[in-house]
Amino acid sequence: MTGDTYRLHVEADTVQLVQDLWNLVENALRYATGDVTLRAERRSDTAELHVEDEGPGFPEGFLAVAFESSPAPTAAVPRRAPA
């Protein structure tokens, strides 16, 4: 751990935040060709979480919709457990 240490208070949907962060970290660990870095930054009255790696990256346009809410799974659209 490097840099200044400080506390960040985040008000968020805890379940969704953990799921989003886990998905990003899992993707980075799966596809990275080197180190994976997790970083949190204070930006005025918000916090930014960063997951950085040297993998191939997401397809163009994916990040624009990556964190939009999706409907709950139904029988027609089952969710798969991570491999």
What's the pTM value of the predicted model, to 2 decimals? 0.60
Q: Does pLDDT of 67 surpass 80?
A: no
What CA–CA distances, in Å, run from 28 to 13, 19, 47, 55? 23, 14, 20, 7
Average model confidence (pLDDT) across the chain: 76
Helix spans in 4-77 (H) = 14-31, 62-65
pLDDT tens digits, one per residue of 19-51? 888 888 888 888 888 899 998 888 887 888 888
Q: Does pLDDT of 73 surpass 70?
A: no
pLDDT band at 70 (very low <50, low <70, confident <90, very high): low
